Structure 1
Amino acid sequence: MSEQGAASKLVSYAEGSTLVMERTFDAPRELVFKAYSQKEHLENWWGPKGWQTTSVKFDFRPNGEWHYCMKCVDEKQGEFFGQLSCGKTYYQEIVEPERITYKDVFVDAEGNEISNMPEIFASITFLEENDKTKVIIRSQFDSVETLQQIMDMGVVEGSASQYERLDILLEELK
């Protein structure tokens, strides 16, 4: 599938300082939730194409955390090749298979928060729709300017790319 095809599947819009992204997957809700909640699955699709995700720590429960690093392994991505981008997710609420809420921050490889980078407060809702699953991600930022900073970093394009990878994983898991 082309990048444009993947991006057209992802619907995104801003509501003030909140970014909303919606995507429907051709898989049952329990399976999509499993792809978000199990380390071995997340590492197979999290991040844009050409990037490999490794979990430093994974504790999927309320008050648990996921420390991960993504490395660009695609030489065709030029200056990004070899780059490392790390984050830490602090899970707040988990209602299987309906919802995950969390705070996400940018960190270095050791897990130390990077100053001057935005915190993201997010909720993911998994809706069952005729053997398909609609995923709605609401990411809240402290200001419209911070949301714009994240948009300028390519979050929508990156999400479209990673969801194309999730499509492939879900097909394999069915």
Structure 2
Amino acid sequence: MTSEIISATPDREIVTTRIINETRDLVYSAWSDPDHLKNWWGPKGFTNTFHEFDLRPGGKWSFIMHGPEKGNYPNECEFTKVEKPSLIAWKRFSKPLFQVAVTFDEVSENSTKVVFKMIFDTAEECEKLKPFVVDKNEENFDKLEIELSKMK
């Protein structure tokens, strides 16, 4: 993934940022270890079945997200850039199509700023999902914080 893809124009991005009161290494581990990631990934009430998780550029991430009441949502992704412990980026091959860049910045010894950036090909695609995605990303971060509390 080239840097110009990661830094798209604001009208093509949905960005969720949270300061998490945990070390950067622990937060990165929750994102990079599939045994932890499967426990929290997705909005409230969703669960996951991971089929493949190969965290390296060109590696595949294949999983099914299960809805709380009904619905199974297959997801196929390819990691495009991995820089431990500061960046994980991937491209989705399942609809809706977008790329993701997640950065992990150490704010202090026990505090990490996580920036989750969804990058769309067009502003129209971004606007179509924005009404749903913003709140769901916050739910995802809430679940991340619960998983982090169990990892200590």
Q: TM-score range by the shorter chain?
A: 0.7 to 0.9
Unaligned runs of 5+ residues in structure 2 are 1-8
Deviation at 1:118, TM superposition (A): 3.5
Deviation at 1:105, TM superposition (A): 3.0
- What does residue 147 of structure 1 align with? 126
The aligned amino acid for 2:38 is E
- What does residue 167 of structure 1 align with? 145
- What does residue 88 of structure 1 align with? 76
CA RMSD of aligned residues (A): 1.4
Q: Does 1:19 align with 2:49?
A: no
Pairs aligned (count)? 143
- What does residue 70 of structure 1 align with? 65
TM-score, with length taken from structure 2: 0.88
Deviation at 1:161, TM superposition (A): 0.8
Q: Does 1:52 align with 2:47?
A: yes
Max Rg structure? 1
How far apart, in 2, do the equivalents of 1:24 and 1:156 lie?
16
Runs of 4+ in 1 over 3 A off after TM superposition: none
How far apart, in 2, do the equivalents of 1:32 and 1:104 lie?
22
TM-score, with length taken from structure 1: 0.77
Identical amino acids, percent of aligned pairs: 30
How far apart, in 2, do the equivalents of 1:151 and 1:87 lie?
19
Q: Per the alignment, in what secondary structure is the counterpart of residue 92 of structure 2?
A: strand
**Residues 90 and 101 of structure 2 are in contact (CA less than 8 Å); yes or no, is this contact kept in structure 1?**
yes
Work out which of the residue numbers 26, 37, 41 in structure 2 matches 1:42: 37
**Residues 118 and 141 of structure 1 are in contact (CA less than 8 Å); yes or no, is this contact kept in structure 2?**
no
Change (3 A) 1:50 1:118: closer
Work out which of the residue numbers 128, 147, 150 in structure 1 matches 2:106: 128
